[in-house]
Structure formats: structure tokens, C-alpha cells
Amino acid sequence: MRIITRVLFVSALAATVLPSLSAAGATPSETAPPGARSVISHVSMATRGHGPQGVPAPARTSAAKTTNGISYHGGPVLTSAPNVYLIWYGNWSGNTARTILPTLLTGLNQSPYYNINTTYHDGASRKVPNAVKLAAETTDGYSQGSTNLSDSNITAVVSSAISSGRLPRDTNGLYFVLTSADVSKSGFLTSYCGWHTHATMGGADIKYSFVGDPAANSACSMQTTVSPNNNVGADAMASVIAHELEETATDPDLNAWYDQRGYENADKCAWTFGTTYSLANGSKANMTIGGLNFLVQRNWVNASGGYCALSY
Ligand SMILES: [Zn+2]
């Protein structure tokens, strides 16, 4: 089978992350890979560095130069602002996620956090810009059902949104399928919290991502009782969305930036949050985006030897 999807693994230690967040002056050396906390089932961690059956691929060393803990493998990066499309799958009626997450995506544009991605470039030294555009949103009322959705069901959701004309066919787009908390999907909450990949749809290379609403499930929700925007599911999704977005910008076709283990930029800092602050409702946050507080994981800076950070 082809391994074509990059995933954000479930944090088995999510419940133990928060206590450490409250420690003042969190150590800046949280560069350890998230693998130790990964729950692995059908999704192999041995993605790009290995062939389809987990056999090491030959001759991968020639092109890759590693100076900052992550290597360029020759593929494209998104050298203009990605157009983000949101597909609200299931029932999001009355859910404040529908304002929280668009606010996040709009606010990431030209933010200190997203600026980390400008440390990545393509083979012609064209940088990933510090720019994101929330282009359009649409809904999908359970076209693929609500139970045990497969990866191909997610692909179908994207394909349908495009072929029906509800969203444009955009090779510079990133299409997020956001499933409501009542929707179950194979692998979600057990193997991963989200993933991104690409596929040819209508002759175009379409980049898309799955992110589910974990509600108060601590497998993917960092704060399960209180959260910065009083919506634990949406606040958890914010960090996963940021993760998948920055990976797509720097590795849209899964052949650009990743390390020797196959970890993309955000994978290298998954479930680490740096310095946090407390909000009035008792929750923790680490950045303000678009006027809202969020707790968003750090991202890997491809400079100065490489390190996880909240800004650049
Ligand atoms: Zn990832």
C-alpha cells in the first residue's frame, strides 16, 4: 500500500502535558520527537524514509542536506499564500467553532507564529511566505454518513465540494475537512488527531487535511474542562489545524521538508507548547491570534541549528 498521508499522532500523554505547562520558564529544549508519545496502529511512522512495506528506500542521502535537523528533498513548497478552504462536515449548528477557527486562520496571516515557516524554501530558494488566506467555507451534512468514516470518505468529501462547485479547484489551496464531534472516523482519537495529504482531483494536485472535533477526549484535546475560547473541541482543533497547515506549506506533496525519521516541521514539535499564561477561566494559552487566545503547539525553526518555537 502507498503511504501517502502525514499524520499528527495522538498524544497519549496529553493529560500530562498541561501540568508541565504551568511550570515557569519551560525548558527550551523540547526538541524530542513526538514518537515516544505516539500510539501507533495502522499508520506507520516509517513514512517517507521507507518504501511501501517498511523497507528502507535506497539512495536517499545524496540530495538531502541536514543542517538544522530537517532536510529538503526536492519537492515544491507553497511559495504563495495558501488559500484555506473549510468544509464543515456533520452538524456544526450553533457551535462557536465556526467563528473561533476562521478567526485563527485569518489571524495566522503575517503572525509571528506563522513566520516560522519562512525559514523553509524550495530548490530555487523561494521562501514560504508569512501569509495565509481563508478563502472560502462550505458545509457537508453527512454525505458520507457519521460512523467509522474512512480516509477515502474524507477524500470524497473534498472531491464532492470541488466537483459540485461549492469550492473552487485550487492547486494553491488547502482543504480542511472538519468533522463534528458526533462523527467517528477510523484512526481518529486512536492513532491520530489529524493528517494532511494530496491527491489528483480533476487533473489538479489538491492538498487536503482531516481534523476532527475531539470534544473532551483527552487523546486529542489538551484541555478537557476549560479552554481559552470556552470550546474544548474547537480549541484542540486549533492546534491541529496549525500543525497541518504549516506542514502543508512546507511539504505539500510529501516530498519537500522532513527529517530522517519522516517527521515534518510540526511533527518535530508536536504536543509542546513553550511558555504559557493563564486566562481568567482557568485555562492555559500561549499566543493571541486574531484577538483570541489559543494554545497552539510549537513549530520547528529551520535556522540556527533548528529548534521548536512559538515565533520567529
Ligand atoms: Zn504532522
User: Looking at the domain assignment, is residue 264 inside a domain?
Assistant: yes
Quote the ligand 1 centre to 87 CA distance (angstroms). 20
Is the predicted pLDDT of residue 94 greater than 80, yes or no? yes
What is the average pLDDT across 190-209? 97
What is the average pLDDT across 32-57? 29
Quote the ligand 1 centre to 243 CA distance (angstroms). 6
pLDDT per position as a tens digit, 103-154: 999 999 999 999 999 999 999 999 999 999 999 999 999 999 999 999 999 9
Q: What is the pLDDT of residue 63?
A: 52
Q: What is the pLDDT of residue 8?
A: 76
Quote the ligand 1 centre to 29 CA distance (angstroms). 19
105's CB contacts (< 8 A; 6+ apart) are 84, 86, 132, 134, 241, 245
Quote the ligand 1 centre to 8 CA distance (angstroms). 4
Q: How many domains does the chain have?
A: 1
Cell of 225: 474542562
**Secondary structure class of 103 (helix, strand, coil):** helix
* Cβ-based burial of 300 (10 A; exposed 0-12, middle 13-18, buried ≥19): buried
HSE-CB of 37 using CA atoms within 13 angstroms = 22
Residue at 150: amino acid letter:
S
Q: What is the pLDDT of residue 116?
A: 98
Q: How many CB atoms lie within 10 A of CB 35?
A: 13
Quote the ligand 1 centre to 203 CA distance (angstroms). 26
**Percent residues over pLDDT 70 in the chain:** 80
Burial letters 246-262, b for 16+ CB under 10 A, else e? bbbbbbbebebbbbeeb
Is the predicted pLDDT of residue 282 greater than 50, yes or no? yes
Q: What is the pLDDT of residue 133?
A: 98
Is the predicted pLDDT of residue 293 greater than 80, yes or no? yes
User: Looking at the domain assignment, is residue 177 inside a domain?
Assistant: yes
Summary mean pLDDT of the chain = 85
Quote the ligand 1 centre to 244 CA distance (angstroms). 6
Rounded (10°) CA dihedral 50, 51, 57, 63:
-70
Residue 235: which pLDDT band, with cuts at 50, 70 and 90? Answer: very high
User: Looking at the domain assignment, is residue 249 inside a domain?
Assistant: yes
Main-chain dihedrals φ then ψ at residue 308, nearest 5 degrees: -80, 140
Quote the ligand 1 centre to 26 CA distance (angstroms). 23
User: Looking at the domain assignment, is residue 122 inside a domain?
Assistant: yes
User: Looking at the domain assignment, is residue 59 inside a domain?
Assistant: no
Quote the ligand 1 centre to 282 CA distance (angstroms). 28
- Report pTM: 0.84
Quote the ligand 1 centre to 144 CA distance (angstroms). 25
Is the predicted pLDDT of residue 33 greater than 50, yes or no? no
Burial letters 270-287, b for 16+ CB under 10 A, else e? bbbbbebeebeeebbbbb
Distance in angstroms (rounded) separating the CA atoms of residues 29 and 33: 11
pLDDT per position as a tens digit, 58-84: 334 445 566 899 999 999 999 999 999
**Percent residues over pLDDT 90 in the chain:** 79
Quote the ligand 1 centre to 287 CA distance (angstroms). 20
Q: What is the pLDDT of residue 19?
A: 38
**Ion ligand 1, residue ranges at CB < 5 A:** 8, 247, 266-267
8 A C-beta contact, residue 119 and residue 303 = yes
Quote the ligand 1 centre to 265 CA distance (angstroms). 8
Quote the ligand 1 centre to 254 CA distance (angstroms). 11
Q: What is the pLDDT of residue 39?
A: 28
Domain that holds residue 155: 6-23+32-40+69-309
Among 143, 126, 156, CA closest to 256: 126
User: Looking at the domain assignment, is residue 58 inside a domain?
Assistant: no
Distance in angstroms (rounded) separating the CA atoms of residues 286 and 93: 28
Quote the ligand 1 centre to 247 CA distance (angstroms). 6
Quote the ligand 1 centre to 280 CA distance (angstroms). 31
User: Which position has the higher pLDDT, 8 or 176?
Assistant: 176
Q: DSSP state, 236? A: H
What is the average pLDDT across 231-255? 98
Residue 41: which pLDDT band, with cuts at 50, 70 and 90? Answer: very low
227's CB contacts (< 8 A; 6+ apart) are 234, 235, 236, 283, 295
80's CB contacts (< 8 A; 6+ apart) are 129, 131, 172
What is the average pLDDT across 177-199? 97
Q: How many CB atoms lie within 10 A of CB 263?
A: 25
What is the average pLDDT across 20-34? 29
Quote the ligand 1 centre to 269 CA distance (angstroms). 9
User: Looking at the domain assignment, is residue 173 inside a domain?
Assistant: yes
Is the predicted pLDDT of residue 277 greater than 50, yes or no? yes
Cell of 294: 489559543
Query: What length is written for the chain?
Result: 312
Distance in angstroms (rounded) separating the CA atoms of residues 64 and 72: 6
